[in-house]
Amino acid sequence: MRATIRSLLRPLSAGLCVLLLCGCGSSRVFSKATIPVHGSPPVVVPAQVVSGHFIVTLKWNENGPWHFLIDTGSTATLVSPEFARKNPNRKPAQDPSPVLVRSISGDSVSLESVTLGAIELGTVRFKNTPALVYNCDELSSHFGQKIDGVIGFPFFRHVLLTLDYPGARIVLQSLGDGASLPGRTIRFNNDRRVPFIPVELGGHSFLALIDSGSDGDLHLNPDGLNLNFVNAPRLGGTVATLTGDQSLEVGRLAQNLTFGSTVFIQPIAELTDELSSLGSGLLKNFRLTFDQTRNQVTFYRESNAPVVTPPLISTGLSFQKLPVYWRVIGVVPGSPAAENGMQPGDLVTRINGEPVANWNLTRYEELVRSAGRIEFTFLSGRTEMPVPIDTFKLVP
């Protein structure tokens, strides 16, 4: 089961990476931060890194804690109705009319626009933050914990933002403290208000989005790219979206990928008709520092050794996760799950005998990676039926 903030929030974006806002004057007003002066100690905020996603905790007074995802592929900050309602000094947006959010495919949805009085990360206070109100229940079900919003890339426009994957933390600094950071600094294209950097695949250069909102490795739009594969693309799963379920193709490239002075040997790639992007499966090797005033990002990694992507292990089943049961939305053809007769629409109530509510995203993914066989309990009418299903290498 693979999913991204992008797939769960579609059609809010074609991921959030290309969020287009119509009729929202406040969307161009960025958060202003009360930050340490130049030379002050950095502000370090611990984070959970769940399936490659950064989750940080906010709290004020008696309210909270609130759990937010950080998504460098999002142009907007999203907040749950509860968070918006309880935020101190919340104000109507400059233009209080609903915001039409449209994806590349043309899908659209109308969301309420608000201006938040204050959001605090550690000791850094972000004031007058424009946000869109979005029901985060499906995100909460997917991650197995309450999610109250998504912090988009422009939110950090007035600070240096470091996403430290190995250290499971974010670091906030004054813009004046970024001159001598260790690592490789790369200019990024910020025309879409999200960071696109040049990457190289088999000697061919193209732009790819740095997307902390994706839990995959490499998402490639094949247009204009001469792709060669060691393991040809195959149906690799299905993701639930607001406009229907979408099948994915995934394979292992024959070419090497290079960015940030690091070579990724024959990475696994998911084919997409959206913009090419680097997911957290690759980004997790780095400490990334973004400077939006200079449009540059610094990649730091302790080792210079090439990175080899391990095989992608799967059950052959894709789920839409709900609190009481998980609904099968896709079955990989030829997989053990398909051979056992599993079909879209089947309902799973237990995994290895435990209710699905006990299986958050991290625990379930660890099980898939480590177990040779998993017992899924399917609901048929009022009868529960345990079915052991072998895991397999979806992409060797």
Q: One digit per residue, pLDDT tens: the chain, 396 residues?
A: 444 555 444 433 333 333 433 333 333 334 556 666 666 788 999 999 998 899 999 876 667 789 999 999 998 899 999 999 888 666 665 555 666 665 444 456 778 888 888 788 888 888 888 899 998 988 898 888 899 999 999 999 989 999 999 999 999 998 877 667 889 999 999 888 899 999 999 889 999 999 999 888 999 999 989 899 999 999 887 665 544 567 788 999 999 999 989 999 999 999 988 889 999 999 999 999 999 999 999 999 999 899 999 999 999 999 888 888 999 989 999 999 999 999 999 999 999 999 999 998 889 999 999 999 999 999 988 899 999 999 999 999
In the chain, the number of structural domains is 3
Shared-domain flag, residues 66 and 146:
yes
Shared-domain flag, residues 247 and 375:
no
Is residue 9 assigned to a domain? Answer: yes
Is residue 86 assigned to a domain? Answer: yes
Is residue 145 assigned to a domain? Answer: yes
pLDDT tens per residue across span 71-126: 999 988 999 999 998 886 666 655 556 666 654 444 567 788 888 887 888 888 88
Per DSSP, the three-state class of 389 is: strand
Shared-domain flag, residues 159 and 22:
yes
Is residue 298 assigned to a domain? Answer: no
Shared-domain flag, residues 211 and 353:
no
Is residue 227 assigned to a domain? Answer: yes
| CA–CA gap between residue 172 and residue 250 (Å, rounded) | 36
User: Average pLDDT, whole number, for the chain?
Assistant: 84
Which range marks the domain in which residue 341 is found? 312-395
Shared-domain flag, residues 99 and 163:
yes
pLDDT tens per residue across span 304-361: 899 999 999 999 999 888 888 999 989 999 999 999 999 999 999 999 999 999 998 8
Q: What is the pTM of this model?
A: 0.88
**CATH number for the domain that contains residue 261:** 2.40.70.10
- Per-residue pLDDT at 1: 43
Shared-domain flag, residues 331 and 363:
yes
Shared-domain flag, residues 332 and 264:
no
Give the long-range contacts of residues 319-325, CB within 8 A, separation 24 or more: 319/1, 319/348, 320/240, 320/245, 321/141, 321/142, 321/144, 321/356, 322/141, 323/141, 323/357, 324/349, 324/356, 324/357, 325/349, 325/356, 325/379
Shared-domain flag, residues 15 and 144:
yes
CA-to-CA dists, residue 272 to 29, 153, 246, 269, angstroms: 31, 22, 11, 9
CA-to-CA dists, residue 3 to 25, 124, 280, angstroms: 32, 31, 12
Shared-domain flag, residues 156 and 41:
yes
**CATH number for the domain that contains residue 382:** 2.30.42.10
Shared-domain flag, residues 15 and 161:
yes
Shared-domain flag, residues 144 and 49:
yes
Out of 283, 301, 322, a domain closes at: 283
Shared-domain flag, residues 35 and 66:
yes
